[in-house]
Structure 1
């Protein structure tokens, strides 16, 4: 079924060739009731239309935030993000990138667990202006297959080769390096396995130091370059 949700999703689904959707977990009335006051109405509309589905052959997944509560809390524990907002994981890549929504800060945090990196991005200005639905649409529209992939030690993309070797992912799976890169494992195809995503991402949070990257927007504001 082609999306009829908004132009941003149509661009993501058709023009950027993330369709067709892969089946995932069902979205229940309980899901909608739980998150109606916490997440944008447009995101819930995506859920209702597709469920917690995969896109781009499984490069990207809409997810049930509840399944990633433990992984998320473990990743932000002891960082400046802990306690400053109510955060929810709303998307995940095949290699475990977590896209995080804050009720006050919007799509303001991405976590790359394989590399121990947290990328903040200040969206509070738009949230204060009531643009949550717009931010969700832009988040989907800007999704990029190259950014969702990982490269090996020779800078060669891994997703398609991993899928050919190991088979496609289910909605609760990801491609993980074993041993983990944080433990000195090599970044090679022959060290990738299918793993349970929520459990593996929680494990990775315990293995190494977290590196908080620069928030380019905040830096520009602090320097008076952008208001």
Structure 2
């Protein structure tokens, strides 16, 4: 394990519910995703960290999700994006083939965050370690609800997330009593259809 990944685990937590990555997936994303990420896939698989508060995922599984979120937005014309990580509550971390770690989506609020990397062109892959080291436990813990949700609902599997029922965008309260363990792909698709994706504004904080 290299120093970058060791530091990531130190910040987020140890691995959980590992899935082996087939060679076909490595081939599929060679030249599209960072080489270092693919090396991590080979060594560590797709799995959760910190009891499942953050997940490295199979981008192909989430292609319909990303397509639904970005359809009819400006992002669909900017780059080709792949989901490389997600939180237990549906924060989505996207990698653009030309723009790197430049887009995040908070699915439960239908808000987007864009970033401009200093690493571009043939230097693009150097932005991946910076992205990975930006991930920590606290920023993926929506409203400090992760531990209460895990106590109430149990530990997540690789295809699950904690979702608010009713959804926050439908007026549901952001309380642990209204969290349920739901299938990640299906719930993220549902959230993508509720309202248009908007950028975060200062009024959101």
Task: Mark yes or no: TM-score above 0.5.
Answer: yes
TM superposition score normalised by structure 1: 0.85
Q: Which residue of 1 aligns with 2:121?
A: 128
Stretches of 4+ aligned residues off by more than 2 angstroms: none
Q: Which residue of 2 aligns with 1:179?
A: 166
Give deviations 1:41-96, integer Å, cap 9, x for gaps: 10001111111111011110000001111111111111110132111000000001
TM superposition score normalised by structure 2: 0.94
Counterpart-to-counterpart distance in 2, 1:40 and 1:85: 15
Question: CA offset at residue 129 of structure 1?
Answer: 4.3
3-state DSSP class of the match of 1:58? coil
Match 2:177 to one of 179, 185, 190: 190
Highest Rg: 1 or 2? 1
Counterpart-to-counterpart distance in 2, 1:131 and 1:109: 14
Q: Which residue of 1 aligns with 2:9?
A: 13
Residue correspondence of structure 1 range 1-227 to structure 2 within 5 A: 4-5=1-2, 7-14=3-10, 16=11, 18-123=12-117, 125-132=118-125, 134-151=126-143, 157-213=144-200
Counterpart-to-counterpart distance in 2, 1:131 and 1:84: 16
Q: Which runs of 5+ in 1 are unaligned?
A: 152-156, 215-227
Counterpart-to-counterpart distance in 2, 1:102 and 1:201: 19
Aligned length: 201
Q: Which runs of 5+ in 2 are unaligned?
A: none
Q: Indicate the larger mover: 101-110 or 135-144.
A: 135-144
